[in-house]
Amino acid sequence: MEFKGYRESIQIYDAQGNPIDTWVEVRVHPITGEIARVINVPIRSLEPPNLEKMARETREACPFCPEHLYKKTPAFDPSWLPGGMLKRSKAVLIPNRFPYDRYCALIILSDRHYVPLEAWEAREIFDGLSLAQDFLRRVVGHDPAAQAFSLNWNYAPHAGSSILHPHMQLSVGRFATNRARRLLMASQNGMLEGQDLFAEMLEEERVIRERWCGMLGSWHQLFAFAPRGRFFELTLINETPGCFSELEETQIQALSEGVVRGLRFVSAMGFSSMNLSLFSPLREAGMFHPMASISPRACVGPYQMSDISFQMLIDEFFALFLPEEIAARYRETVRGNSDA
């Protein structure tokens, strides 16, 4: 598999006529063919918001805190989901009051109203992902029209979360999201040609070792060659094809540990918010390998400039960190990789 990147060297001049050498690099996603650009912009120090202050201000009225959760939140139809919700330890799955698909759930991950990125425990993530698996299996058994799902986590305001209390969003319906559809279609097209595109990409990344950061159980840790988001994209990709809902407990445990390591690294890089998305077929896996992506989010400067601009309209992303450099930083920061 070929990783295609094209660097343009550019020379401009400052106000005194002195040359300034800069560059932009255009990269092609090895599976979907999507374009991403890495641009040469110096990063000023980030100033994360005071989330401890926000936690104190929002704690009393939070609908997801234990004293309010069962009084202020709805329940699913008990005819197909007995009890109207799912529970595992301190994690709870409830309906989204404002659904955007046929089955739309929120997974309350913790009874803690605010958890700094560096303070997450793998068990909390494991419980949330296990509830997601349980919910997906129940929907598949209940509704044959459900063909796709989307599992996402917007953590903290800069990532687009309106409620600080940590919760994932899980939706199930007939249509996959745009990015999931591109990944699924590329994987299926490769399978028709006798190729496992994910396996080919992972093997090449492992040989090159520029962005690959080792294994956690069956999960590869690597930084996307053509990243989405303004900063970087850390991906966890399972070694073998399959559906997320069918993964074994040990695989979910390893994925949870990988997510926690990713969150700690995001925090170490100076961020307090992030987006996480998980990609997988709902029913037939084919050659698709379950995959999770983590991308930090931040607003910049004294006027809190958004890190997302017109790129949302053109569906193309501009990253400020070279994936190879950020992978080296990750390897230095995160210890315990079993095959790094």
| Token pair listed for 86 | 């799912």
Q: Residue 236 in contact with residue 212, Cβ under 8 Å? A: no
Q: Residue 129 in contact with residue 190, Cβ under 8 Å? A: no
Q: Which residues contact 259 (CB under 8 A, 6 or more apart)?
A: 120, 122, 125, 236, 276, 292, 294
Q: Residue 8 in contact with residue 26, Cβ under 8 Å? A: yes
Instruction: Tell me the domains of the chain and their CATH numbers.
Output: 48-306+322-340 (3.30.428.10)
Q: What does the pLDDT profile of the chain (340 residues) look like in tens digits?
A: 889 999 999 999 999 999 999 999 999 999 999 999 999 887 666 778 889 999 999 999 999 999 999 998 999 999 999 999 999 999 999 999 999 999 999 999 999 999 999 999 999 999 999 999 999 999 999 999 999 999 999 999 999 999 999 999 999 999 999 999 999 999 999 999 999 999 999 999 999 999 999 999 999 999 999 999 889 999 999 999 999 999 999 999 999 999 999 999 999 999 999 999 999 999 999 999 999 999 999 987 777 778 888 888 888 989 999 999 999 999 998 764 444 4
In this prediction the pTM is: 0.95
CA atoms in the 13 A half-sphere facing the CB of 158: 23
> For every residue of the chain, which 3-state class applies, written as one string?
CCCCEEEEEEEEECCCCCEEEEEEEEEECCCCCCEEEEECCCCCCCCCCCHHHHHHHHCCCCCCCHHHHHHHCCCCCCCCCCCCCEEECCEEEEECCCCCCCEEEEEECCCCCCCCHHHCCHHHHHHHHHHHHHHHHHHHHHCCCCCEEEEEEEECHHHCCCCCCCEEEEEEECCCCHHHHHHHHHHHHHHHCCCCHHHHHHHHHHHHCCCEEEEECCEEEEECCCCCCCCCCEEEEECCCCCHHHCCHHHHHHHHHHHHHHHHHHHHCCCCEEEEEEECCCCCCCCCCCEEEEEEECCECCCCECCCCCHHHHCCEEECCCHHHHHHHHHHHCCCCCCC
* Alpha-carbon gap, residue 306 to 299, rounded angstroms: 5
> What pLDDT score was predicted for residue 169?
98
Q: Residue 150 in contact with residue 113, Cβ under 8 Å? A: no
Q: Is 186 exposed, middle or buried (0-12, 13-18, 19+ CB in 10 A)?
A: buried
> What pLDDT score was predicted for residue 45?
65
> What pLDDT score was predicted for residue 337?
46
* Alpha-carbon gap, residue 11 to 9, rounded angstroms: 7
> pLDDT per residue over 24-43, tens digit each?
999 999 999 999 999 988 76
> What pLDDT score was predicted for residue 340?
46
* Alpha-carbon gap, residue 34 to 137, rounded angstroms: 31
Neighbours of 116 (CB within 10 A): 16
Task: Give all strands of the β-sheet with 19-28 in edge-to-edge order.
Answer: 5-13, 19-28, 35-39, 317-319
> What pLDDT score was predicted for residue 335?
63
Q: In which residue are the tokens 């309906």 written?
A: 95
| Token pair listed for 325 | 């450099």
Neighbours of 41 (CB within 10 A): 13
> pLDDT per residue over 280-300, tens digit each?
999 999 999 999 999 999 987
> What pLDDT score was predicted for residue 44?
61
